[in-house]
Amino acid sequence: MIKINTEDCYMCKACENSCPTEALKLNPFKVCQLCGNCVNVCPNDALNLREIELNGKTIKQIAYFPTKCDLCGECVKVCPNNLKIENDKLKGFCVGCMKCVDACPDSYVGMEGVVEPAKRNITLPKEPIAVTEDCVGCGVCISECPVGALSIEGEKAVVDKDSCIYCSICAQTCPWNAIFVAGKKSPKRDKNIVKFSVDSDLCIGCGDCTDKCPRDLIVLNEMVAVPPKGCPACGLCKAACPVDAIELVVEYASPKPITDEGIVWDEEKCAYCGPCAIKCPNNAITVVNPKGLEMPSRKKTEKANEFKMCIRCGACVQSCPNDALRIGKIIHNGKEYERIEFSPNLCDSCGKCIETCPYDMLKLTGKSEKPLEGFCVMCLKCIEACDKAKKSALSLK
């Protein structure tokens, strides 16, 4: 089975892009487990779980015989991960080709029983927030910071600790994992490289882009730069190009909740079923489930699995010009927690808090008695709903 060091992974997706059957997905990490469920239910013997020799090692693989397959979908129903039927083809099963292992530029991908994934040798900084020497000064974190607490000085990101709210979005977004909050490796936001191309007519083959790439991922071929199959998308190559021949367009998914105390979300336990969002009295949680049903709005959407919630980071409080929002306190089980408190009479619906919110949770309602919603008041109804659904994905810590 494929193994990935997801803690150190740069999310370049070279492994994902190289898989010929789409058996590997990142963030959240899902890979064919070679469990044999698909093989056991196939009525036509189109799938076979077998052992093969690879580099002197014996590994398992799923063998697929398309001439026997009628695309009935029984295998898809029992697969715990990526098996799907798309464009009249079955995808999502591991054939043991190890192309994903070969594609990773830092050897963070391995194969069980053959090669272990590499681990990054780093001492985690103990400061509340720290930028390490791995920072390449790309500036991606600056545009993503909701409170403008980051800048570039001497080709390195610098944090204004008086402004920083420790939301960890910079750490989640950093292409090269050079920022750490609270001495931890932050979960990585997902991202989609919409476009990464080189205009061959404009490119002069100067090599400035290849010299600037921290991992030599972009290369020259016949004096024209060639983008890699996988890239952390730091944009240094684009910035270095003297003739603007490189186009790089990146879309970032919502940041992930990261809290040591308060309401904590366990991504692995979450079924994206939605009772937490439905029960939240202030719409401070948004869930998109696998069937494309968004809650609490219950409108059809094309989004994939998604969970967002207010983590009471305080970005809205810092940006409010009228002190309508503030950090308050509440006690649960004898322990004090922070929550967001709101004074409707002070709110003029300017929307500055909405622009600042890093989790895109806040929205204006148009109602004078409650003009704003989407902030967490720590009522814990979401946890109660999750417990009733027997998922335990939300807890109070």
Identify the CATH number of the domain in which residue 197 sits. 3.30.70.20
At 291 the pLDDT is: 60
3-class secondary-structure state, position 30: strand
At 102 the pLDDT is: 92
Verify that 139 and 99 share a domain, yes or no. Answer: no
At 294 the pLDDT is: 57
Residue 67's Cβ-count burial label (10 Å; 0-12, 13-18, 19+) is: exposed
pLDDT in tens, 165-201: 888 999 999 999 999 998 888 888 889 999 999 999 9
The reply to whether 361 falls in a domain is yes
**Vertex 306, ends 301 and 311: CA angle to 5°?**
130
3-class secondary-structure state, position 243: coil
Verify that 93 and 161 share a domain, yes or no. Answer: no
Verify that 239 and 303 share a domain, yes or no. Answer: no
DSSP string, 265-330: E-TTT-----HHHHH-TT--EEEE-TTSBEETT--B----SEEEE----SHHHHH-TTS-EEEEEE
Domain that holds residue 283: 263-396
Q: pLDDT averaged over the chain?
A: 90
Structural domains counted in the chain: 4
Verify that 383 and 269 share a domain, yes or no. Answer: yes
The reply to whether 77 falls in a domain is yes
The reply to whether 258 falls in a domain is no
**Vertex 20, ends 16 and 21: CA angle to 5°?**
90
Alpha helix positions (H), 179-263: 208-212, 236-240
Phi, then psi, of 174 in degrees rounded to 5: -50, 120
Indicate if the pLDDT at residue 303 is higher than 70.
no
Verify that 281 and 332 share a domain, yes or no. Answer: yes
| Percent of the chain with pLDDT strictly greater than 70 | 96
Rounded mean pLDDT, 251-258: 85
- Whether residue 303 contacts residue 280, with contact meaning beta carbons closer than 8 Å, is answered with no
336: DSSP letter:
E
Verify that 342 and 238 share a domain, yes or no. Answer: no
At 218 the pLDDT is: 94
The reply to whether 117 falls in a domain is no
pLDDT in tens, 337-368: 999 999 999 999 999 999 989 888 999 999 98
Q: Can you tell me the distance from the alpha carbon of 19 to that of 164, in angstroms, rounded to the nearest whole number?
A: 39
Indicate if the pLDDT at residue 51 is higher than 80.
yes
- Whether residue 187 contacts residue 180, with contact meaning beta carbons closer than 8 Å, is answered with no
CA-closest candidate to residue 129, choices 81, 74, 172, 189: 172
List Cα–Cα distances, 373 to 265, 275, 342, in angstroms: 20, 18, 9
At 59 the pLDDT is: 84
Indicate if the pLDDT at residue 300 is higher than 60.
no
115: DSSP letter:
B
At 296 the pLDDT is: 61
CA-closest candidate to residue 324, choices 316, 335, 332, 333: 316
At 295 the pLDDT is: 60
At 256 the pLDDT is: 84
At 62 the pLDDT is: 93
At 353 the pLDDT is: 94
Verify that 390 and 326 share a domain, yes or no. Answer: yes
Verify that 46 and 106 share a domain, yes or no. Answer: yes
Verify that 149 and 81 share a domain, yes or no. Answer: no
Q: Can you tell me the distance from the alpha carbon of 23 to that of 80, in angstroms, rounded to the nearest whole number?
A: 12
Indicate if the pLDDT at residue 299 is higher than 70.
no
At 323 the pLDDT is: 93
Verify that 138 and 94 share a domain, yes or no. Answer: no
The reply to whether 227 falls in a domain is yes
Q: Select from 228, 252, 276 the last residue of a domain.
A: 252
The reply to whether 137 falls in a domain is yes
Report how many helices (DSSP H) and strands (DSSP E) the chain contains, helices first: 12, 25
The reply to whether 120 falls in a domain is no
Indicate if the pLDDT at residue 301 is higher than 70.
no
The reply to whether 290 falls in a domain is yes
Alpha helix positions (H), the chain: 14-18, 37-41, 74-78, 99-103, 140-144, 169-173, 208-212, 236-240, 275-279, 315-319, 352-356, 381-388
Q: Can you tell me the distance from the alpha carbon of 169 to that of 263, in angstroms, rounded to the nearest whole number?
A: 18
Considering only the C-alpha atoms of the chain, give the largest distance between any 2 of them, rounded to a whole number of Å.
73
Verify that 106 and 202 share a domain, yes or no. Answer: no
At 250 the pLDDT is: 94
At 56 the pLDDT is: 77
- Whether residue 80 contacts residue 126, with contact meaning beta carbons closer than 8 Å, is answered with no
Q: Select from 67, 84, 111 the last residue of a domain.
A: 111
pLDDT band at 38 (very low <50, low <70, confident <90, very high): very high
Verify that 350 and 391 share a domain, yes or no. Answer: yes
Indicate if the pLDDT at residue 203 is higher than 60.
yes
> Which helix H or strand E contains 193, and what residues bound it?
strand 191-198
pLDDT band at 70 (very low <50, low <70, confident <90, very high): very high
At 185 the pLDDT is: 87
